[in-house]
């Protein structure tokens, strides 16, 4: 049995050991708080689960190793992410790891899988996975239209109001469209307050608008190219005044192998194009022709896929093939029934009233009309909304042949 003298002699040694143990624990006080006394990477609960293209994603983690930290990096697809390596810490055992990653537009819709990897001086690693979904950034734009906008107005009346627009990000542009056409006079790109504008809308309804249901689109774009739109429609009452038409006679288009004439036409300007000018001027081309052994003479819109696949393809046109055009306009084409319009009525037509009437009565529209013959009358509406009529006069029904025609189009 230990006597009192023995206990008293051991007490200084026990006290010394207690102090040394306390000192040793002071540098590792955080260990007792997390329950892992050797090696860890701890991600905060505050890390986001979503990220936005072109917006920095801040990644942060607490790291510790009892044997000392060597480095920490972030990996994706088993590869270290550029500029993610960190070598310096609060002390040799622990610190805060920080890394910034910017998702690109190409990451939109993806789930990005990160792994934060810590290396210690004993040659061991600790990996902490982290995933984030890349989604479209919320559009923080509000467009407030007046509650009492009219449903209909007469030709000659003016519609004027202020649309109150507020944005979470700085405004870049406000525009108004009717159909696909921008109303240039209503575009605003300079803002007194970059987050707010009382946008002044004004439009006078013209004779040519009569009978139309006009849909206006106010489009707001912020500096990050996020867009918000507001639409409203006004029915325009009153009599429409017919527009004059322009007439062209004895126009020639060549079939796909013709060396005499080009196969593509810009109808408003009466321009005919062959290779390679057709591709260069694709934005202004409204229709083309070709001859098929099965379907005869075809008049078609540049958007017609069969023409791009089987006729004006890479084999026949190389790099100038129809599928490679920057713009392929979608012209509507309709065959006019003989009972709706005679050649005499076509030739005497001076305005677009009858032109539009027979076009609307001959639906539906198509991207191509096949089996075209001499004497046929075809109606068309270009992608820009211009109506016109074609009278086919003469055909040379061969791949190297041609078509001669007269046509009329709205001014």
Indicate whether 114 and 176 sit together in one domain.
Answer: no
Q: What is the pLDDT of residues 146-173, one digit of tens each?
A: 999 999 999 999 999 999 999 999 999 9
Average pLDDT over the chain, rounded to an integer = 90
Indicate whether 48 and 78 sit together in one domain.
Answer: yes
Indicate whether 259 and 177 sit together in one domain.
Answer: no
Indicate whether 231 and 169 sit together in one domain.
Answer: yes
Instruction: Give domain status of residue 189, yes or no.
Output: yes
Please tell me the predicted confidence (pLDDT) of residue 37: 58
Q: Give the rounded percent of residues in the chain with a pLDDT score beyond 70.
A: 91
User: Does residue 19 carry a pLDDT above 70?
Assistant: no
pLDDT range class, residue 282, cuts 50, 70, 90: very high
Domain boundary (99, 134, 169) is at 134
Indicate whether 211 and 270 sit together in one domain.
Answer: no
Cα–Cα distance list, 153 to 145, 240, 243, 360 (Å): 17, 14, 21, 24
The whole-angstrom distance between residue 291's C-alpha and the CA centroid of its chain comes to: 36
Indicate whether 68 and 129 sit together in one domain.
Answer: yes
Average pLDDT over residues 167-191: 96
- Structural domain span for residue 172: 141-237
pLDDT range class, residue 179, cuts 50, 70, 90: confident
Indicate whether 153 and 117 sit together in one domain.
Answer: no
CATH number, domain with residue 167: 2.60.40.10
Closest-CA residue to 204 (of 173, 238, 228): 238
> What b/e string do you get for 268-290 counting C-beta neighbours within 10 Å, with b at 16 or more?
beeebbbbeebbebbebbbbbbb
pLDDT range class, residue 183, cuts 50, 70, 90: very high
Q: What is the pLDDT of residues 341-365, one digit of tens each?
A: 999 999 999 999 999 999 999 989 9
Write out the E strands in 28-68.
39-42, 50-51, 57-65
Is 148 exposed, middle or buried, given 0-12, 13-18 or 19+ CB atoms closer than 10 A? exposed
Indicate whether 397 and 264 sit together in one domain.
Answer: yes
Instruction: Give domain status of residue 8, yes or no.
Output: no
Q: How far apart are CA 248 and CA 201, in angstroms?
A: 39
Domain boundary (118, 134, 150) is at 134
Indicate whether 55 and 190 sit together in one domain.
Answer: no
pLDDT range class, residue 26, cuts 50, 70, 90: very low
Instruction: Give domain status of residue 10, yes or no.
Output: no
Instruction: Give domain status of residue 14, yes or no.
Output: no
* Residues in CB range of 187: below 8 A, 6 or more apart: 173, 174, 175, 176
Longest dimension (CA), the chain: 137
Indicate whether 232 and 254 sit together in one domain.
Answer: no
Tokens describing residue 124:
């061991």
Closest-CA residue to 100 (of 117, 81, 118): 81
Instruction: Give domain status of residue 330, yes or no.
Output: yes
Indicate whether 280 and 205 sit together in one domain.
Answer: no
Instruction: Give domain status of residue 13, yes or no.
Output: no
Instruction: Give domain status of residue 16, yes or no.
Output: no
Average pLDDT over residues 124-131: 95
Please tell me the predicted confidence (pLDDT) of residue 321: 97
Instruction: Give domain status of residue 216, yes or no.
Output: yes
Domain boundary (237, 260, 289) is at 237
User: Does residue 25 carry a pLDDT above 60?
Assistant: no
User: Does residue 317 carry a pLDDT above 50?
Assistant: yes
User: Does residue 178 carry a pLDDT above 50?
Assistant: yes
Q: What is the pLDDT of residues 212-268, one digit of tens each?
A: 899 999 999 999 889 999 999 999 999 878 889 999 999 999 999 999 999 999 999
Closest-CA residue to 48 (of 131, 111, 129): 131
User: Does residue 28 carry a pLDDT above 60?
Assistant: no
Report whether 116 contacts 97 (CB < 8 A).
Answer: yes
Grouping H, G, I as helix, E, B as strand and the rest as coil, residue 383 is coil
pLDDT range class, residue 3, cuts 50, 70, 90: very low
Instruction: Give phi and psi for 391, each to the nearest 5.
Output: -110, 115
Please tell me the predicted confidence (pLDDT) of residue 30: 38
The whole-angstrom distance between residue 183's C-alpha and the CA centroid of its chain comes to: 21
Give me the number of domains the chain comprises.
Answer: 3
Indicate whether 59 and 108 sit together in one domain.
Answer: yes
Q: How many residues does the chain have?
A: 411
* Residue 142 CB coordination number (10 Å): 14
């Amino acid at each position: 049995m230990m006597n009192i003298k023995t206990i008293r002699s051991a007490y200084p040694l026990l006290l010394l050991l207690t102090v040394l143990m306390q000192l040793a624990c002071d540098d590792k006080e955080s260990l007792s708080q997390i329950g892992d006394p050797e090696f860890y990477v701890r991600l905060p609960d505050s890390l986001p689960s979503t990220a936005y293209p072109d917006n920095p994603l801040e990644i942060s983690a607490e790291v510790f190793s009892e044997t000392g930290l060597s480095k920490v990096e972030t990996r994706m697809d088993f590869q270290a992410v550029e500029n993610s390596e960190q070598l310096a810490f609060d002390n040799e055992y622990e610190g805060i790891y920080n890394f910034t990653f910017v998702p690109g537009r190409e990451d939109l819709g993806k789930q990005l899988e990160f792994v934060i990897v810590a290396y210690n001086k004993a040659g061991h690693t600790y990996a902490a996975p982290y995933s984030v979904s890349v989604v479209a950034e919320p559009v923080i734009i509000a467009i407030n239209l007046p509650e009492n906008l009219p449903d209909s107005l007469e030709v000659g009346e003016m519609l004027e109001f202020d649309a109150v627009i507020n944005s979470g990000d700085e405004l870049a542009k406000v525009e108004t469209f009717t159909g696909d056409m921008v109303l240039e006079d209503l575009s605003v790109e300079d803002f007194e307050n970059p987050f707010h504008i009382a946008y002044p809308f004004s439009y006078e309804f013209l004779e040519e608008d009569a009978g139309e249901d006009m849909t206006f689109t106010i489009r707001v774009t912020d500096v990050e190219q996020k867009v918000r739109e507001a639409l409203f429609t006004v029915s325009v009452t009153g009599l429409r005044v017919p527009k004059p038409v322009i007439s062209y006679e004895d126009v020639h288009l060549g079939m796909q192998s013709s060396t005499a004439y080009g196969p593509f036409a810009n109808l408003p300007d009466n321009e005919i194009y062959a290779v390679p000018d057709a591709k260069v001027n694709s934005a202004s081309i409204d229709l083309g022709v070709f001859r098929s052994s099965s379907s005869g003479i075809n008049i078609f819109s540049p958007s017609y896929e069969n023409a791009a696949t089987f006729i004006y393809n890479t084999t026949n046109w190389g790099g100038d093939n129809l599928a490679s055009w920057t713009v392929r306009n979608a012209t509507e084409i309709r065959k006019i029934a003989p009972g709706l319009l005679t050649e005499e009525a076509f030739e005497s037509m001076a305005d677009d009233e009858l032109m539009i009437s027979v076009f609307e009565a001959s639906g539906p529209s198509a991207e191509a009309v096949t089996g075209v013959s001499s004497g046929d009358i075809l109606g068309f509406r270009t992608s820009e909304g211009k109506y016109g009529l074609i009278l086919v006069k003469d055909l040379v029904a061969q791949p190297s042949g041609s078509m001669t025609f007269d046509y009329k189009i709205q001014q």
